[in-house]
């Protein structure tokens, strides 16, 4: 019996040790679980940091603005100067030098001198893209007709053409006719001289006449655009203003010598930007 009692005491001792071990294990497990419970705050912090990039999203609607600006400023077509430019300047009384002290002080002659290319100048007063001259448009001096006559002479073959005008086309009642005639004139020149580079200088005049030319200016500009030719817009660029016109006006319709020199200067500025 005593032996049995001794064994019982040993079992009791082992049982007590077992209980203590289980209890210690439980405490350790709880201690280990404690940090996990505190770590639950990390997802909250993470979600807050994810939320912060959404703040700049409020400015996203402004992103289309650059695209609209790019569309509004479509590039102006330019010209590719040949290695040896041969220039023809055709136009109306402005190209003929009317208003200047001498014809060779007209804007076209000054431009030709500055550029230094072999140049022919063909200016006929009272003519235009659609208006042939005369009180009733009866003189057949439209630009296309004159281009055809020049093309019939093989001794002169231009590879660069400047078409100046539009003032007299204001007498044409139908603006669409002016637009069509402008495009047709440019295309005709390209048939006469394949590869010719064409630039259009729209109407211009000292103020207040310049304001009356806005309608025909738009018509000529549309014709140049339809034919894919660069258009130098003296009206919209405000070459002649109420401030400078008194010093540049010869007779209310034409520039004087100073005005022609000013036109030549403004034209050459535009020319430089078109031929880069």
pLDDT in tens, 156-205: 999 999 999 999 999 999 999 999 999 999 999 999 999 999 999 999 99
Give the separation between CA 94 and CA 255, rounded to whole angstroms.
8
Helices (H) and strands (E) in the chain, counts: 11, 5
Give the separation between CA 185 and CA 239, rounded to whole angstroms.
25
pLDDT in tens, 12-54: 444 444 444 434 444 333 333 343 333 333 333 333 333 333 3
Give the phi and the psi of residue 243 in degrees, each rounded to 5: -80, -45
Decide if pLDDT at 91 tops 60: yes
pLDDT in tens, 190-249: 999 999 999 999 999 999 999 999 999 999 999 999 999 999 999 999 999 999 999 999
pTM summary value: 0.73
Q: Is 94 exposed, middle or buried (0-12, 13-18, 19+ CB in 10 A)?
A: buried
Q: Is 140 left (phi over 0), alpha (psi -120 to 50) or beta?
A: left
Residue 127 CA: distances (Å) to CA of 59, 80, 138, 166, 256: 56, 28, 10, 8, 20
The verdict on whether omega for the bond into residue 208 sits within 30 degrees of 0, i.e. cis, is: yes
């Amino acid at each position: 019996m005593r032996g049995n009692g001794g064994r019982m005491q040993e079992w009791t001792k082992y049982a007590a040790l077992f209980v203590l071990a289980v209890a210690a294990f439980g405490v350790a497990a709880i201690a280990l679980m404690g940090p996990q419970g505190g770590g639950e705050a990390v997802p909250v912090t993470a979600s807050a940091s994810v939320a912060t990039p959404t703040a700049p999203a409020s400015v996203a609607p402004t992103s289309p603005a650059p695209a609209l600006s790019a569309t509004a400023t479509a590039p102006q077509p330019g010209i590719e100067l040949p290695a040896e430019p041969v220039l023809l300047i055709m136009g109306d009384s402005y190209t003929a030098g009317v208003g200047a002290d001498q014809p060779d002080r007209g804007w076209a002659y000054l431009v030709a001198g500055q550029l230094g290319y072999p140049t022919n100048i063909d200016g006929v007063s009272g003519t235009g893209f659609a208006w042939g001259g005369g009180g009733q448009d009866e003189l057949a001096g439209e630009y296309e007709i004159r281009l055809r006559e020049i093309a019939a002479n093989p001794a002169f073959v231009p590879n660069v053409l400047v078409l100046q005008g539009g003032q007299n086309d204001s007498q044409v009642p139908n603006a669409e006719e002016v637009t069509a005639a402008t495009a047709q004139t440019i295309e005709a020149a390209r048939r006469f001289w394949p590869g010719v580079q064409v630039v259009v200088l729209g109407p211009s005049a000292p103020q207040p006449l310049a304001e009356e030319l806005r309608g025909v200016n738009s018509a000529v500009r549309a014709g140049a655009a339809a034919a894919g030719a660069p258009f130098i817009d003296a009206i919209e660029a405000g070459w002649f203003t109420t401030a400078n016109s008194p010093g540049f006006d010869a007779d209310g319709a034409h520039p004087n010598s100073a005005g022609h020199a000013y036109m030549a200067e403004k034209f050459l500025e535009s020319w430089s930007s078109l031929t880069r």
